[in-house]
Structure formats: structure tokens, C-alpha cells
Amino acid sequence: MTITIALSKGRIFEETMPLLNAAGITALEDPESSRKLILTTNRADVRLIIVRASDVPTYVQYGAADLGVAGKDVLEEHGGTGLYQPLDMNIARCRMMVAVRDDFDYESAVRQGARLRVATKYVQTARAHFAAKGVHVDLIKLYGSMELAPLVGLSDAIVDLVSSGNTLKANHLKAVEHIADISSRLIVNQAALKLKHDVIQPMLDAFKLAIRK
């Protein structure tokens, strides 16, 4: 019985490794230097697959991976159908924010009931946020580099993740609203949890003990 764990390269992979190590799993290859998409581990029955961050829930939902680690931002957009989310891994932390140009008077625009143009990769999150506030928005879907949109007149505002705030600062943007605190969650395929319970449950227990509060 093989356990497949879906991870994305970069911060999620790096920050998940100590937790996997605590569960007795070590990767035998590094996704940054290897071009392989299926990585072996020290355990013959555990393999890692490397997918785009936003594709992790899809692999787990369909059972192509048993487990995965995905940001709450990604899970919110995906909807989470067919996924069990037992643990907040408390890694890859950041904040979902609304940001505008330094010189844009966001408060007045909102107060006057202006129709805001908002560019984002997080369309569901943005729609829910502004609907709850009763602010009318036109959403423009982007796939990355949201910070550029207000600078070239594509939008008035963006909804994006902020961690250090350096990207906003470097592009003369300011955060004007906090939407949510984000961290990465462990996700488990519901059928796999039942069928492979004897192997998966000890992993969940080990992760739980190793998660930093």
C-alpha cells in the first residue's frame, strides 16, 4: 500500500519537510535540483509528487494523492469538496489583503459607493469579501504579479497575499484591508483515510505533535 503526498515546490515543500521528518519521512531528492515530479523517500511505501500549489487540492480530491499540503488561500478558491482537513500545519503564513496605490483614497471610494475594479488570482475570496461589505466590484482574474495591475491602470485595487510587505512597498502600494490570516493545511482524501487508515493515522498523529503553535 503506497501513500502519495502532493506538495508544491518552494516554501510549502521547505516548510513541510521538518514535519515529514518528524513523522519519520525524509525526501531522497530535492525538487529544486531534480526535474523529477515523483520523488522517493526513505520509506518504500511513501512517495512525494510535485505539483503547482493551486493543483494540490485537485490531486487529493481525485485520490491521485492521498495527502497534500495547501494554503488556506488555495483551499478557499478550490472549495474543498471531497477533502478532509484535519490539521492546520501553521506554515507558509501570510495575510490575505486588499491593497491599492499609495495615492489612492480607498476610504472615500468605498464611502462614495464607487464601483471598484479589483484584480486578483483569488476571485472567490474577493467576491465573498466585498459582497459581505456591500461594496460593488468588477473582478479581473489574474494568474500572478497582481501588484502590477494598479500601477498600469488595470485596476483600482488588488486582493493578494502579503508576508513581509516588501513587494507592496517596492511597488508603491499600501494594504488597506485585512481579509484573512493564511497558513497551510494538511488535506486528506476521504476514501484514502478510510482505506489506508492504519498508515495515515500515525502520520497525522506525528504531524500533530510536531506542529509549532
Minimum distance of ligand PRT from residue 70's CB (angstroms): 7
x-marked contacts with ligand PRT along 148-177 as a string, rule CB under 6 A: ------------xxxxxxxx----------
95 binds ligand PRT (CB under 6 A): no
- Taking the C-alpha atoms of residue 139 and residue 197, their distance in angstroms, rounded to an integer, is 42
Return the residue of 39, 94, 100, 187 that touches ligand PRT, per CB under 6 A.
94
Q: Which is nearer to ligand PRT, 92 or 119 (CB)?
A: 92
Cα 22 to Cα 137: distance, rounded to the nearest angstrom: 45
Q: How far is the CB of 173 from ligand PRT (least distance, A)?
A: 10
Interatomic CA distance for residues 70 and 89, integer angstroms: 10
Which one among 35, 107, 144, 152 touches ligand PRT, defined by CB under 6 A?
144
Among the listed ranges 27-35, 67-75, 123-131, 172-180, the one in contact with ligand PRT (CB under 6 A) is 67-75
Q: What own/partner pairs with CB < 8 Å and gap ≥ 24 does 44-48 have?
A: 45/1, 45/2, 45/3, 45/199, 46/2, 46/3, 46/5, 47/2, 47/3, 47/4, 47/5, 48/4, 48/5, 48/6, 48/7
Q: Which three cell numbers stand for residue 5?
A: 503526498
Stretch that binds ligand PRT, among 70-78, 98-106, 187-195, 197-205 (CB under 6 A): 70-78
Give the Å distances, CA to CA, from 94 to 11, 152, 163.
Answer: 12, 26, 5
Binding residues (CB under 6 A) for ligand PRT: these are 8, 10-12, 52-54, 71, 73-74, 92, 94, 144, 160-167, 182, 184
